[in-house]
Chains A and B, each alone.
Chain A
């Protein structure tokens, strides 16, 4: 369907796209917390749990990493929609699936950061009889953070840009908003998608620049 660009439409559609943008940020926040925290837990458990637990966990996350996000979203959505209140479930289900999906990537970045710590650090902690929680909390994690922060942040930016996938289950992010508007006015899709794209650019570019600065600063830090 060919449509003329209309500044009038831009003005009209902007508030609803903006609303969608706020939802994108909310999803990013919730999913981001899940990805950051769960990824870390998985990386730690993969290091300390008995072999059986480790194998199961790594199998589950192997599966998550190697199937498309869209499939996971639809699968979990249809599997849970019978049991969850549909008014808020799309947001909850969408954010959770997105967060868990990206936890499978962040856990790899954390793990790489842990693996990069010299064996001598673990041995020094043992030689000082440090309890396990101090070895992790005071020795390993601070050093891992320095190595993993940039990579994890990049995953979160990537995740932010995948939030529109959730329109498929009706999360009212920007694509849904544009389509809703078009459904009512038979116009505005091009303007809506353009605004959405610009908002994504406006949000992720400064973050990417800030991340590069952080990376440089971390590389120059004292350890």
Chain B
């Protein structure tokens, strides 16, 4: 659980997000400590994926008038993330500010989203070279190391469409890790996979969880995986946190009716 002495790596302070008239996040506040692994569960439309997309800057928060007093701000590593500081005031972050800010964050998507025009190796080196300014050799070495870690060192010269979904997703994990993110977002990473391929991907992620101290936010329906890797589970419904606790507590003794209903429905699948 949370340690009160360390500064949270992620802090949502009364964050709002609406799409048109639909309010997806309603004054949402929570903290995440460095190195924590947090699983977000809840029915679809409860705002879990929106939280990840806000942290990846694929969506923008819905701003409030005076963020200094009313919040509506995301903080990462003690600095404003959705906003930027200007003369002691918080204004909504510019595209330029976000470009720097988002480098601490990596994401693995449900649909893999590998670049189909690049071989596996270049999928993993492209951003290393052009964002982190690593030399080609350095990036190659790092990429081969990570592809080895995910069990795909024999596929470096293949194109993504020559790989199975599970292999593509493992490349996507290597690609995200190559950027040395402080925060890794996993958005239903096994939902698009055939059942027999799920185990390999989860196995790789278990390894990553065990061998690194990357902070992870996980949206998943794989409750066994959530139990194994996460320190904390947050149950969402309609853009607010219904209940949060250790996975042991949440899964064996959920307190809230909505959590009980949700878990019953998921486990019956």
Residue from B56, B109, B161, B176 in contact with A222 in the complex, judged by beta carbons closer than 8 Å: B161
Are B127 and A128 neighbours in the complex by a CB distance under 8 Å?
Answer: yes
Q: Check A223/B117 contact, CB under 8 A, given A120-B111, A127-B56, A129-B102.
A: yes
Contact across chains for B130 and A131 when beta carbons are under 8 A apart: yes
Cα separation A138 to B102 with both chains bound (whole Å): 20
Question: What sequence of 0s and 1s flags, for each residue 82-123 of chain A, a beta carbon within 8 Å of any chain B beta carbon?
Answer: 000000000000000000000000000000000000101101
In the bound complex, CA of A207 to CA of B52 (Å): 50
Q: Given the known inter-chain contacts A123-B58, A223-B160, please indicate yes or no for A128 contacting B117, CB distance below 8 A.
A: no
A123 CB contact (under 8 Å) in B103, B109, B114, B162: B109
A130 at the interface (CB under 8 A from B): yes
In contact, B127 and A130 (Cβ under 8 angstroms):
yes
Query: Given the complex, which residues of A lie within 8 Å of B113, measured CB to CB?
Result: 118, 120-121, 123-124, 127
- Smallest Cβ distance from A41 to chain B, in angstroms? 21
Give per-residue flags for B103-114: 1 if the beta carbon is below 8 A from chain A beta carbons, else 0: 101110101111
- Bound together, the chains give a CA A118 to CA B192 distance in angstroms of 16
A127 to B117, CA, bound (A): 18
Please tell me if B86 contacts chain A, counting CB pairs below 8 Å: no
Given the known A-B contacts A124-B113, A124-B114, A139-B117, are A223 and B161 also in contact in the complex, defined by CB atoms under 8 Å?
yes
Those of B52-72 within 8 Å (CB) of chain A: 56-58
Would A223 and B130 be within 8 Å (CB), given that A124-B109, A124-B114, A142-B117 are in contact?
no
Q: Which residues of the other chain, A, contact B107 by a CB distance below 8 angstroms?
A: 127
Interfacial chain B residues near A146, Cβ < 8 Å: 117
Indicate if A213 sits at the interface (CB-CB under 8 A): no
Q: Known contacts A129-B131, A139-B117, A143-B117: does B106 contact A134 (CB below 8 Å)?
A: no
CB distance from B211 to the nearest CB of A (A): 22
CB-based contact B115/A124 at 8 Å:
yes
**Contact pattern, B 77-110, Cβ under 8 Å of A = 1, otherwise 0:** 0000000000000000000000100110111010
Is A138 in contact with B58, judged by CB distance below 8 angstroms? Answer: no
24 residue pairs from A and B, CB less than 8 Å apart: A118-B111, A120-B111, A120-B112, A121-B113, A121-B115, A124-B113, A126-B58, A126-B102, A127-B56, A127-B58, A127-B102, A127-B106, A127-B107, A128-B106, A128-B126, A128-B131, A129-B127, A129-B131, A130-B130, A130-B131, A131-B130, A142-B117, A143-B117, A223-B160
**Ordered nearest first, which 7 A-B pairs have the shortest CB separation?**
A223-B116, A128-B127, A124-B113, A120-B113, A222-B159, A127-B107, A142-B117
